[in-house]
Amino acid sequence: MDFKYDILKHPNVKLTTDGGQPPYIHGEPTQAVATLVFDSDIPDNAVSVKAVSTSYELLSDEDLEEIFNGELFYAGTAEDLVSSMKEKVWQCNVSRSMIDKYMNEYLVGNMKTTKTGAELRIISIEKPTEDAVAVEKNLEDAFLFYFGEKSEEKQDA
């Protein structure tokens, strides 16, 4: 006697194609919120966005050693380094026409493009705009504040 199980009698067969359901497609995004399509046809209602250059670069240990000539700049925890900054970190929104002004006048740690301009993360003692809000400092802010300009100067030389 053959004691094989009849899979069509399984209680969840109704959830399969044998039970009348559409086939499951593996690897398909099921919770996507947007789709990017690269096409040569640009719709008439497409929004033009001005490209913003950033100065972010991933540096290896060797790069950092070369930039700082092997000098130890700081010994301590990341939290101590962040709290040692006297400057505050401000978040504010500026119009497109004012972005360059703030980029030139302040140390800008981050910029996010918005519909009306940009949201800037500025490192400064003084409040850069009336509506600027003080936000919590992080390690990225401290690194930019202490090392950002020095690394640029040495790389340009």
pLDDT for 26 equals 81
Q: Which residues does the chain have with pLDDT short of 50?
A: 150-157
pLDDT tens digits, 3-49:
788 888 889 999 899 889 998 888 777 777 777 767 677 777 777 76
Residue 67, burial from CB neighbour count under 10 angstroms (0-12, 13-18, 19+): middle
pLDDT for 157 equals 41
pLDDT for 124 equals 93
pLDDT for 151 equals 37
